[in-house]
Amino acid sequence: MNEYLAGLTTEKINPATRTIDECTTEQMLHLLNREDAAVPAAVAEEIPNIMEAVDVLHARLKSGGRMFYIGAGSSGRIGVLDASECPPTFGVDPELVQGHIAGGDTALRTAVEGFEDNAEEGAALVERIGVTDKDAVVGISASGSAAFVIAAIRRAGEIGAATIGVVNNKDSKLGEVCDICIAPVVGPEVIMGSTRLKAGSAQKLVLNMLTTATMVKLGKTYNNLMVDLKASNKKLQDRSIRIIKAATGVDAETASDYLARASQSCKLAILMIETGLAASEAAASLARFEGNLKATIRAHKQVV
C-alpha cells in the first residue's frame, strides 16, 4: 500500500514550488495562481467521461432514482457542499442529491482522517442510507485509495446502483471498482500531498458539471435561468422577480404579482404570464411535461 501511495501523482513533490518558504508574499501567491491555472485544462480532458456520467445520472434521476456523493476528508466535504446547494438552486428535494462523508457530520468541521481507512463502515453507510438499484453513487477520493470510499462504491455496485468515481490519479484503486471513472490529473500539489488545493479545485469543477448538467437536462432551468429556485428569503425573492422579468419582459410589479399568485414558484409564474393560464391549470400543464417549462410553453402555443 505504501508503494501504491508513493507512486501517486498527488503525493509527489512539486519542483516548481520547492522553495515556496523562501518566497515573498507576492511570489508565493503567483506560485499558487500559476499552479491553479492548470486545473481547468485537466478537467477539460475528462469531459468524455463526465459526459457519460451526466447521461447516467440523468437517466437514473429521471426514472425516480437518487444521487449520492460519498467521500472522505476534503473530498467528502466538497461532495456535501455540492449536494447541499442543489435544493436552493434547483428546487429539488434534499433527498434527491445527498452528500455523505466518512466520520459523519462531525467530519465536516473537524478532521477525522482515520475514518477513511474503515472499509466496513463505507459498506455499512451504503446500506444505512438505503441505496437501491435505481440510484447512482459518486465516490470521491483524490488518491483513489480511501478504503471507506472504495468499499462504499463496491457495495453500491453489488446492489445494482450506477457507480462513478472522481479521482486525481490514473489507474486508481477506486477506478477499478466503478462503472465510470473521472480522473483529472492536476500534478503534484503546491504543498506536497495537500489535495485540498488543485485536486480539490478539480473535484469541485467536476461536481459542478455533474449536478448542473444533470439538472438542466431534467428541466430545472429555463434557458440559463434557475427557475426552480425557492424564494425563501428576500435575496431569492428579488432574484425570482428579476428572473421572471428576464424570461417574460414584464415589469417588476407584474412579476411580483404573478410570483405571489404562483405561491412563490418562479417557474409557475412565468408559465402563467406566457400562456394566460390560471395557477392550477398551469401547474397541471407543467406536470404533464415533467416540469419542463420550455416544453410546456411551446406545447401550449402550438395548441393555441
Contacts of residue 109, defined as CB under 8 A and 6 or more positions apart, other chains included, come to none
Contacts of residue 235, defined as CB under 8 A and 6 or more positions apart, other chains included, come to none
- 162 phi, psi to nearest 5 deg: -70, 140
Q: Which of 269, 274, 265, 261 is nearest to 300 (CA)?
A: 274
Residue 166: its H or E element = strand 162-166
How much of the chain is in helix, strand and coil states, percent to nearest 5? Answer: 60, 10, 30
Q: Which of 270, 293, 273, 298 is nearest to 222 (CA)?
A: 293
Q: Is 116 a catalytic residue?
A: yes
Which one from 116, 121, 189, 274 is the annotated catalytic residue? 116
One-letter amino acid identity for 285? S
In eight-state DSSP terms, residue 139 is E
Q: How far apart are the first and last CA of the chain?
A: 67
Cα–Cα distance measured from residue 36 to residue 247, given in angstroms and rounded to the nearest whole number: 36
The angle subtended at Cα 77 by Cα 1 and Cα 47, nearest 5°, is 80
Burial class (CB in 10 A: 0-12, 13-18, 19+), 59: middle
Q: Is 11 a catalytic residue?
A: no
Positions marked active-site: 85, 116
